[in-house]
Chain A
Amino acid sequence: MTRVYVPKDSTAVSLGADEVAAAFLAHGCDVVRTGSRGLFWLEPLVEVDTPEGRVGYGPVGAADVGGLIAAGLGRSDAHPLAIGLVEEHPFLKSQQRLTFRRLGIVDPASVNDYVAHGGYAGLRNALSMTGAEIVQSVTDSGLRGRGGAAFPTGIKWKTVLDQPVAQKYVTCNADEGDSGTFADRLIMEGDPFTLIEGMTIAGIAVGATQGYVYCRVEYPESIAALRTAIAAAKAAGYLGDNICESGHRFELDVRVAAGAYVCGEETSMLQSIEGKRGEVRVRPPLPAIEGLFGKPTIVNNVMSLASVPVILEKGAAFYRDFGMGRSRGTIALQLAGNLKRGGLVERAFGVTLREVLYDYGGGSASGRPLKAVQVGGPLGAYLPESQFDTPFDYEAFAAVGALVGHGGIVAFDDTADMAALARYAFEFCAYESCGKCTPCRIGSTRGANVIDNLLAGRDPERQKQLLGELCETLLHGSLCGLGGMTPFPVQSAMKHFPDEFAPRSRH
């Protein structure tokens, strides 16, 4: 029986992958549902084993299935949809997939498949080390928080390790709310055991016995995939009272978020896991000292935790050898918005924005020139074409007033209205503000008003000055990044596209 691999990833399904899988089943094929490789313009991307490796076809519709089988599945050049050996595809071949090395290859529901593809080797190593040695290894790897703040992960873990408290927690921030980001989703849907393994290693390292994944409600497929994987890991002895017969205990649960963007901020997320309003807490105390339910808590992003298994498997030096400057290892870049080839690019730090936009992304989907790119989510700066040569590196991005954030890249062509986008940044902040601090709660609404007044031509010089002052107040006076970073998209849009903020005549 011919075995075909059809993604169950939500983007692939949104493009018809379920119907394609059903058609292969109807033709008597053995269908394995995998995650997506992250080549979204080719989804649904169907793969078949050959002696040389998996060959792919895409984008496949249910109506193509009969023809594909008739042409002889696996004979790579025998069909117009054939893309040849998938791993030789230019979009994939030049990537450096460490965290995502199993993505689109394994069955996300199968522990055995995970182990067969190198899974749990990191945990095996960790079980032979002391907690302090594991933490040292993560520190030495140079891994910095991939959620956006880029704080050294090992330092955070050491703080938790050093607390002489019996109950500690590991929490994973999977409230991936930034527009243009889907790396967390791809891992949770496509290779959830990597995240589970990373969290288990974190728990063993710092002496925490309970973990929570705080996953956004907008990701029902991720929640389901995680729950299936957690049950499978538990049944196989990789979670529970006696992990791999080591005597270590670690339990893991999924907590479902409820549509508040601010809960991606770490203290707000902890409030939400506790069942409260997601209002930001004042720091100190740091969550590493007084976090969930007042206990020492690791709060890490999905990407940070999912990078831990490879570090423990191959060693800190292996990981640290990728990257540039103080940005070590790889980063998951997510190509979104108006690009011809959207998807996931995992590369060592140092790749430039231009390479990512054109070599991988293929330029705009609309065929028009790219005008601005927002990197790092709704709180990230807009970069104009003159900054496209900036390399992905936390410090290099900071130097041009931008941020890497969670690695989301949203491209706009020359039809984008930058003043409307700046106004949207305020509108979004107003909608999502938790209301605890005044600059964010009130400043966001005022900001949208001021842009309206500016575009209406009501004393424009005064509005510009007001907007500048307002941005300064938000920047310095907000409790967390939501208010504190909303000025980034606004000010970058004004700086690089000043003409678009001129008074407009009414249409």
Chain B
Amino acid sequence: MTSDETAELQAVEAAIARHGHEPGPLIVVLHAIQDALGYIPESSIPRIAEGLNLARSEVYGVVTFYHYFRTHKPGTRTVQICRAEACQARGCQALERHARETLGIDFHETTADGATSLEMVFCMGNCATGPAVRIDGRLYSHVTPERFDALLAHQEGAQ
């Protein structure tokens, strides 16, 4: 078993043990797994189904319904760009284009070197100071294309 597979198994078992008894536990369990691993490996779906006494199809259906859950390993860092109207009113379309061109990927993709995943979100409640971007959980306001480059470079420097 590789270390990835061991980590996966541990995360899945821990999530089921910790939350399996709660009412309607599936989404709570999925969050716990994604918090631990960064994604929900498709290979874990049979075990989640068994542990929660659900059909595999039910688990698969829920994982794929929600935009937040992902079944592929993300990049080292995740960049979320808000595409909703309030950020559009502040010019987020230009930022979207810039981010896709700079990183060379589309939304829901990861750069070839595995460094960066790009996600789109619709509203982070930061609507008066857009365009809004969240990088690895940290929220930023007024993100122009130039600021976007600076934030990514700063992060790379810090790593």
Footprint of B on A, CB under 8 Å? 10-11, 13-15, 40-41, 43, 176-182, 184-185, 217-220, 255-261, 272-279, 293, 334-339, 342-343, 365, 374, 378, 408, 410-413, 416, 421, 424, 428, 431-432, 434
Contacts and interface: CB of A to CB of B under 8 A. Distances in A.
A274 B129 CA distance: 35
Contacts of A276: 24, 26, 58, 62
Interface string B108-143: 000000000000011111111110100001011110
A431 B119 CA distance: 14
A26 B89 CA distance: 38
B125 A277 contact: no
Given A337-B89, A342-B129, 13 more contacts: A10-B125, A11-B141, A14-B140, A178-B123, A217-B31, A219-B125, A275-B28, A276-B58, A293-B24, A336-B86, A408-B127, A410-B89, A416-B89
B127 A180 contact: yes
Interface in B31-67: 31, 58, 61-62, 65-67
Nearest to B65: A277
Contact of B139 (A14, A272, A335): A14
Given A260-B65, A277-B65, A342-B129, A255 B27 contact: yes
Contacts of A176: 123, 125
B121 A218 contact: yes
Nearest to A186: B125
A256 B33 CA distance: 13
A501 to B, nearest CB: 18
Nearest to A188: B125
A295 B121 CA distance: 33
Interface of B: 23-28, 30-31, 58, 61-62, 65-69, 84-90, 121-130, 132, 137, 139-142
B106 to A, nearest CB: 14
A273 B132 CA distance: 28
A428 B87 CA distance: 14
A182 B125 contact: yes
Candidate in B31, B62, B69, B89 with the most chain A CB atoms within 10 angstroms = B89
Contacts of B123: 176-181, 218
A279 B62 CA distance: 10
A421 B141 contact: no
Contact of B127 (A15, A182, A259, A261): A182
A275 B127 contact: no
B85 to A, nearest CB: 4
A259 B66 contact: yes
B139 A339 contact: no
Given A219-B124, A272-B27, A342-B129, A259 B68 contact: yes
Contacts of B125: 10-11, 176, 181-182, 184-185, 218-219
Given A218-B121, A338-B90, A260 B128 contact: no
B126 A14 contact: yes
B131 to A, nearest CB: 11
B128 A278 contact: no
A164 to B, nearest CB: 22
A10 B122 CA distance: 16
Nearest to A271: B24
A10 B31 contact: no
15 contacts: A10-B126, A11-B126, A11-B128, A14-B126, A14-B141, A15-B142, A41-B128, A178-B123, A180-B84, A217-B31, A259-B121, A273-B24, A275-B26, A337-B88, A410-B85
Contacts of A258: 27, 30-31, 66-69
Contacts of A434: 65
A462 to B, nearest CB: 29
Candidate in B30, B65, B130 with the most chain A CB atoms within 10 angstroms = B65
A207 B54 CA distance: 31
Contact of B88 (A14, A15, A421): A421
B85 A337 contact: yes
B82 to A, nearest CB: 8
Contacts of A279: 65
Contact of A374 (B61, B85, B122): B85
Contacts of A410: 85-86, 89, 127
A343 B126 CA distance: 10
Contacts of A43: 129
Contact of B84 (A41, A278, A378): A378
B127 A181 contact: yes
Contacts of B62: 275-277
A444 to B, nearest CB: 14
Nearest to A13: B139
Contact of A40 (B25, B26, B129): B129
A15 B85 contact: no
A279 B61 CA distance: 11
A255 B28 contact: yes
A481 B62 CA distance: 22
Candidate in A277, A334, A411, A428 with the most chain B CB atoms within 10 angstroms = A277
A115 B65 CA distance: 42
Q: Kindly list the 6 A-B residue pairs having the minimum CB-CB distance in the complex, ordered from nearest.
A: A342-B128, A179-B84, A337-B89, A259-B68, A336-B127, A275-B26
Candidate in A15, A219, A258, A365 with the most chain B CB atoms within 10 angstroms = A258
Contacts of B85: 179-180, 337, 374, 378, 410, 421, 424
Contact of A256 (B31, B58, B89, B130): B31
A179 B127 contact: yes
Contacts of B23: 274, 293
Candidate in A217, A219, A336, A421 with the most chain B CB atoms within 10 angstroms = A336
A272 B60 CA distance: 14
B32 to A, nearest CB: 10
A293 B25 CA distance: 12
A412 B28 contact: no
A323 to B, nearest CB: 25
A258 B67 CA distance: 7
A217 B69 CA distance: 11
B115 to A, nearest CB: 22
